[in-house]
Amino acid sequence: METDPKFFDTPGGVVGQPLDRVDGREKVTGKARYSAEFPLPGLLYAVLATSPIAKGRVLSIDAAVATREPGVVAVLTHLNMPRLARTPNTPEAKKDTSAPMMFMPLTTDEIFYANQPVALVLADTWERAKHAATLLDVKYQAAAPVAAYTHPKAELFDPLAVQDGKQPGHTSRGDAQAAMASAPVKLSGTFTHPVYHHNPMETGSTTAHWEAPDRLTVYESTQGVTRTQTSLSKMLGLPREQVRVVTKYLGGGFGCKGSCWPHTVLTVQAAKAVGRPVKLMLTRQQQFTSMGHREDQTQTLALGASRDGKLLSLIHRKTSTTSPWDNYAEPNSRVINLLYACPNFEAKYDMARANVMTSTFTRAPGEAPGSFAIETLLDDLAHELNLDPLEIRLRNYADKDYSVDKPWSSKSLKQCYARGAELIGWSKRNPRPGATRDGRYLLGLGMATATYPVHNSQGTARVRLYADGHAVVQSGATDLGTGTYTVMTQVAADALGLPPDKVRFELGDTTLPTAPNSGGSVAAGTVSSSIFMAVQDVWAKLIKQAAADKKSPLFQAKAEDVEVVKGRLQLKKSPAKGENFAELMNRAQLTDVEGLAQGKYGAGYETGLAASPADSGHKDDKAGHSMHSFGAHFCEVRVDQELGIARVTRWVSVIGAGRILNAKTARSQIIGGAVFGIGSVLMEETIRDQRYARYTNADLAGYHIPVNADIPDMTVEFVEEKDPYINAMGVKGIGEISTVGVAAAVANAIFNATGKRVRSLPITPEKLM
């Protein structure tokens, strides 16, 4: 890695700099090992055979022909797969095992969803396993499936009755019904969202290696090695430390790699059954039925407002599809409840069981679809009242979090609005829809607000500083590909006063200090704070050492009088008095010093102490703060009237998310989230056939995601924001705010261009013709 001396000339100088990725060279040269790239001796390849029917029963599986094929070692089915110590097929076992789904394939002959695994074929090569899987003769007894909540046979139910009041369910504040009834202006919209799939570049993969009958190492494509360890150790009935989970590189995840899914468990069990290491990598098609999805859903949002555009009431309903066992729905109402100053709010969810696997969190779960409803309906209100969309947002600006009645820890939304408007040229926007034309194209400008919570989370890091001036820093976090390796190296280098190339950051292993899932946008803040605090632990030890060392200029100094600047321990009042850590350590014959610390949510900035207590994470804690990042997306679209094709031609995102750890990787992450959102609004959609409950387009030929030609140059800026409450580094996280509001900004621009308000996603050409 190249290091520019200017980055570490001053304390704090490295953090925030656009450092190149420390793992960039490994990745582009193919040296980076992903979870399916560990060549273990005796490794077998596993291929899933899956059910073509979505409901029914396996009557028989004849594996005789498949088993006779050269290289085939085993065919494992529900009849011969080793049993788990704990199967997540009850609510208690699901909770205990942190399983994403209350069902494990190959434990029964019953079929609940299309492409449910019915066998695992093991062979000495992938090709042989794949071929043998096609030779299985499986007989089914098929029943008519329910395909979705929209299916004629679907039965809606209120999940509150079975979920002890946990989300999804009812939320209410004030009297939304009465306020709606008396509101001078009323608007509502019904929004439909298709099934979306995460589709990371690297599909789900597992390499399972039993090193001893009771000791397992799994190379797993997961966003959380600890959570996977929890699931596997509970299901296998092994002590946690006998299950090691390793994830050195991850090719994306978007939430689908946030849990331990059945294919991982089956691979581990298969390796146990044959006594050899086994590797499974989902095919792209199998990815669509193995690791969850964003559920198909309909939202209805009604608003009541005053004539000057102030929100008086919001009433939200959501209906979605869930699996035969679980009550999962992403919590859309949360963002609608807190985005604006609205005194009355009510939300209720319904769901229906269908023959699908359980859906799961997908980048900004809840906030992404929820923001589409509130942010497009607010645009309608602006239009209705002849107000500028930005003005209507300012009139409803939430100066506190009304959903929990707490002050914000920080909020830079007004700056984001102002800067975004300036960059896109908002003042030139023609408010009249369909009135701006350039040849065959209709042009429109749109915008939307973005927000994402800072979720409660804590992690641990260890720092080992060597007297020779290098350091190894460790935390069991994962890097989704977004830059964790790089930003954590920067944070450590900065705190230690070392050049970044003298710091090695290790992650992705349960043998390292425990870190949370890289999900919910928590990794950057939690892990960086853990590292920062662990370095403070190192300094505290060395300051103590110096104070006890007669030869040190700091002999008998009080800890509170000593500061550390770029690795030099010195007196705050007379900085000339002090010495570098290396001198001190060499004199004491210390090869290294270790620091360990936990970075905590709500633990304040700089010294780890904020001016007042932060949010404890409890909903009813009125003393604390509500912690959110905020931002605004602005865009221009061009709609080809004859072909109905909408293209995003200009893009601006301005985000306030606390401290930004690396300007380059942060910009990339916002761009990635915006592209993710543009995909969701203009092209992505998985179609589930209503009769067979099968996906008809489960591959990247049929499931369209944006390519370079679909995306313009994007402008991303961050508002400088110092939040004293969030965590030791003041980092809010940017993984998810990047995509919140994006779909609405595009839909609003399309409305401005064409006068067409499309509430059914994605906005494909036929909807604009």
Encoded one letter per residue, x for contact with ligand MOS by CB under 6 A and - for no contact, window 314-353 reads ----------------------------------------
Range 724-743, binding ligand MOS (CB under 6 A): 736
Residue 331 or 706 having the CB closest to ligand MOS: 331
Residue 676 or 718 having the CB closest to ligand MOS: 676
| Segment near ligand MOS (CB under 6 A); pick from 355-363, 369-377, 407-415, 687-695 | 355-363
Minimum CB separation from ligand MOS for residue 256, in Å? 8
Residue 366 or 602 having the CB closest to ligand MOS: 366
Minimum CB separation from ligand MOS for residue 520, in Å? 4
d(CA 209, CA 44): 10
Among 258, 476, 500, 656, binds ligand MOS (CB under 6 A): 258
Q: Please identify the residue of the shown chain whose CB is closest to the bound ligand MOS.
A: 255
Rounded to the nearest 5°, which phi and psi values hold at 499? -65, 145
Say what angle helices 663-682 and 367-384 make with each other, to 10 degrees: 70
Tell whether residue 363 is a contact of ligand MOS (CB under 6 A). yes
Query: Active-site residue among 684, 685, 721, 736?
Result: 736
Residue 287 or 396 having the CB closest to ligand MOS: 287
Tell whether residue 361 is a contact of ligand MOS (CB under 6 A). yes
Tell whether residue 223 is a contact of ligand MOS (CB under 6 A). yes
Q: Beta-strand (E) ranges in 454-539?
A: 458-466, 471-474, 503-506
| Segment near ligand MOS (CB under 6 A); pick from 36-44, 335-343, 358-366, 608-616 | 358-366
Q: Beta-strand (E) ranges in 202-359?
A: 205-212, 215-220, 243-246, 278-281, 297-305, 311-322, 345-353
Tokens of 376: 């497009």
Computed on alpha carbons and rounded to an integer, the radius of gyration of the chain in Å comes to 27
Tell whether residue 595 is a contact of ligand MOS (CB under 6 A). no
Q: Is 736 considered catalytic here?
A: yes
Minimum CB separation from ligand MOS for residue 457, in Å? 11
Among 255, 331, 677, 706, binds ligand MOS (CB under 6 A): 255
Site size for ligand MOS, by CB under 6 A?
A: 10
Residue 376 or 738 having the CB closest to ligand MOS: 738
386: exposed, middle or buried (Cβ count in 10 Å: 0-12, 13-18, 19+): exposed
Contact predicate 191/762, CB 8 Å: no
Tell whether residue 194 is a contact of ligand MOS (CB under 6 A). no
| Segment near ligand MOS (CB under 6 A); pick from 17-25, 359-367, 418-426, 645-653 | 359-367
Contact predicate 114/51, CB 8 Å: yes
How do the residues of the chain divide into helix, strand and coil, expressed in percent and rounded to 5? 25, 25, 45
What HEC string does 550-611 produce? CCCCCCCCCHHHEEEECCEEEECCCCCCEEEHHHHHHHCCCCEEEEEEEEECCCCCCCCCCC
Residue 172 or 514 having the CB closest to ligand MOS: 514
d(CA 2, CA 274): 47
Minimum CB separation from ligand MOS for residue 524, in Å? 12
Minimum CB separation from ligand MOS for residue 501, in Å? 31
Among 247, 403, 226, which Cα is nearest to 331's? 403
| Segment near ligand MOS (CB under 6 A); pick from 303-311, 317-325, 356-364, 466-474 | 356-364
Among 31, 362, 6, which Cα is nearest to 200's? 362
Contact predicate 656/16, CB 8 Å: no
Residue 295 or 736 having the CB closest to ligand MOS: 736
**DSSP β-bridge partners for residue 315:** 302, 346
Tokens of 236: 């296998």
Specify the DSSP class assigned to residue 525. H
Tell whether residue 292 is a contact of ligand MOS (CB under 6 A). no
Range 462-521, binding ligand MOS (CB under 6 A): 519-520
Among 507, 547, 542, which Cα is nearest to 527's? 507
Catalytic residues: 736
Contact residues toward ligand MOS (CB under 6 A) are 223, 255, 258, 361-363, 365, 519-520, 736
